[in-house]
Copies of this chain bind each other. A is one copy, B any other.
């Protein structure tokens, strides 16, 4: 594991961005961050574990919503400074807004317009 993380270019905080992509449809679902520990936990469990920069702790994706990500494949880019996780998105939605993908805003005439598939209502999913 130490060898693996050493093979990657992490930032000053030991973090590397990770793109989650639907393994079946190719849809880009979200971007989060990983450190050595989250990568190790992801490999151990087969489910995506990220590092939450806002909460400063490990974040098993879906730990609250149930929308975990089963990791099918992990890729790295030529510079080894970005990871790409191909995942099966349990529950059909990656985004806390209830959209299937976090990338549910499209640029139209200079403004961001909501444009995504809504899978759940956040009010039904998260505790206060």
**Chain A residues near B (Cβ < 8 Å):** 1, 3-4, 7, 17, 19, 21, 25-28, 30-31, 73-80, 82, 84, 95-97, 99, 102-107, 110-112, 115
Contacts and interface: CB of A to CB of B under 8 A. Distances in A.
B78 A112 contact: no
A106 B73 contact: yes
Contact of A104 (B78, B95, B97, B104): B78
Contact of A17 (B7, B31, B76, B102): B31
A35 to B, nearest CB: 16
B28 A27 contact: no
Given A17-B31, A26-B26, A74 B110 contact: no
A96 B78 contact: yes
Given A28-B28, A76-B112, A84-B103, 16 more contacts: A3-B110, A4-B107, A4-B110, A19-B31, A26-B26, A26-B27, A74-B106, A75-B104, A75-B105, A76-B103, A76-B107, A77-B103, A77-B105, A78-B96, A80-B112, A82-B102
B80 A105 contact: yes
A4 B105 CA distance: 13
